[in-house]
Structure 1
């Protein structure tokens, strides 16, 4: 896969390459406490215009967005890969458990070839959770990372509150150069969601990203923003 050459349009211009951006969102019962689910819905909805701006700045990438939700089981919240220009967020509701492993299996099914395109850019997977898996996380993660596109994906994890399982989120990232982002209030969550939607998306979608890889072989990700000064911890 590393030897794939970018496709060119007639006349020599680079054709746009698909970049799949997938939210993997925890909507277990604990996400209904202290406004966490409302803050997540608001943060993603507010980030969408910024994602559109990034996509417009790089016509060589065709950004396609969708979302998985997991609680008691997992399912596609938005199943169709949707051009970011047309993407609209569907609000999550909190209930049930934390079947994170099932969510990763759902994502893995979509990163097989097909339906995943050979000429795609590395997908961006953003896992957001406030707790610990209540199902077989290890099998779900292995299913994802055993796939070439699962291994090459840019994997970002955001921990909401102090009860989030950092060990699990670090295993999902599977990159010693990246750590889970800790959001203990809505301000921090909003800042991290925007960072993922802009700076991470830029890094993954830039034409030169194919040559800008870390020691692990993944796309180099910029430093995340610092925690907002003065915001109290509420989660």
Structure 2
């Protein structure tokens, strides 16, 4: 059985993450370059209920790409994630920004990290009755961090290949967590009326000794990718925030 933390606050998450060993992963080589894109994904509950309308915009300038994913929820909540990355031999994040707020999220966060300056900034509110915390400081982005672009990393893995990378989590201070991207199965899906063959990947945090402290299920995170000469994201299933419900991101 997969396990999860029995926690619901960033303070306890921070304490647990601080126990993790230093991560040693590797950047993902560029096999397929990213370019201009504009799409309208939809966010649904595990039961298929439509929760939010999404918009993905991606602009490439030379070998630097800016990608932004926004979900506007029916209850007024907002999820807004922007990543700027380069694609010179390997993919590397230059800037990252995340905004999440509203009743669909237990905590409000507005956070950003910049590789060039080495600075981060966070505005955080534990709940609607709590005072806002404003944090800033220095943070070095390793070359193998792929927050906001795990889908890009998956598209660039060779068939059957696994990879270990890192993501940034805000606790509310930024911290690094190592995750394993591993192929799970080959699945037949349908887009419209057309059947397609996809590779299903699991995205699993590497918790080390912390695994023995966990007593209940961690929501699984899965992503379906169409492989081939023009690989494409097809579907995501998992939480968008720590210990959140399982949601689905699908093509509209």
Structure showing the higher strand proportion among its residues = 2
- Same-fold call, TM > 0.5? no
- Greater relative contact order (Cα < 8 A, sep 6+): 1
TM-score by length of structure 1 reads: 0.35
